[in-house]
Structure 1
Amino acid sequence: MTLDQFTREEGQLARRYEYDDATVMAVDFGTDVGDVAVDVVDDTAIVVLADDQYEIELPAAAGDAHTFMKNGVFTIELEEEL
């Protein structure tokens, strides 16, 4: 497993975990987060929180992206394409 912190913007912690067959990206938006909208377009995940929009670049070799939010932590799970 490889761990990479890919951004620290406005106190938000974001990390990428690389496994043999998958990549997991997690961004801590804090527990005050309300509704979240997510759209994946090509190699970018677009996350909209209230009036803020974040674009997260996804690895080019990634397959399907599975996204979820729990306790203010937004997670993207990507499986390697074979």
Structure 2
Amino acid sequence: MDSVKDAVPDALRINGHNPFTLLHSALSEGLHDASDEYCLRLANAIRLVMVEFAERLAEVMKDQKELNDALNRLLNRTS
């Protein structure tokens, strides 16, 4: 995790935080000793972070595809 934690682009960060680091930290805890209520709250938080990350990733990928399509149209136009 340490070797890739800085590789996440700013567009994918959530309020400045690396979603992978947040999830790794939450999932690395010893949940077997925690109460069901705590585990459910943590699972909900994990779900929300994963949904937000997925939405941001989809948006970045869509934006990149749109940019690539626009560049291709400009580069491949006929006179």
TM-score, scaled to structure 1: 0.26
Whose RCO is larger (CA < 8 A, sep 6+)? 2
Higher helix share: 2
TM-score, scaled to structure 2: 0.26
Higher Cα radius of gyration: 2
Higher strand share: 1
